[in-house]
Structure 1
Amino acid sequence: MQEHSSIVKGDDFQNLLGMGFSEIEAAQLVHMKEHVTEQVEYREILQESRRLDFVRWLIEHKRIKD
C-alpha cells in the first residue's frame, strides 16, 4: 500500500482508530472508501438508486400516479 501520511490526519482515519482498528486496517478502509466510486457497479447502483428516489418523489408529490 502507498504511504498514508495524508490519511493519518483525516477524521475518518482517526474515527476508525478510536473504534479499535489498527493503523493499517484504518488506512486500508479509508483507501477503499476513497476509491469505491471508481467501480463501475457502484456507479450503476448509485444511478439506479437516484432514479428510484426521483420516481418516489414524483409519486409522493402527485406528479404521477402509482
Structure 2
Amino acid sequence: MYHIVLKKNFNFIMFIIAGAVVTETVTGGIGNTLWSALNHGKTYETVDWSKFRSPLEDEEDEDEDDE
C-alpha cells in the first residue's frame, strides 16, 4: 500500500490531507464528548433552569393568565 501512496506526489498529498481530516474529526469528537461529560450541568444547555425561577415570576405568570 505504501508503494502505491508514495509513487505519485498527488497521491501522497491526498493521503496526508485525508489523514489530517480523519484525525481532526476523531480527536474533535472525543474532545467534545469529554468536555460535555466533565461539564454536565455547568453549560447553558444542561443547566436545570427551573431551579432559578423566583416567586415573583410565578405571580407574574398567574396575572397574565387572569387577563
| Higher RCO structure (Cα 8 Å, ≥6 apart) | 1
- Which TM-score applies when normalising by structure 2? 0.38
Q: Which has the larger radius of gyration?
A: 2
TM-score (norm 1): 0.39
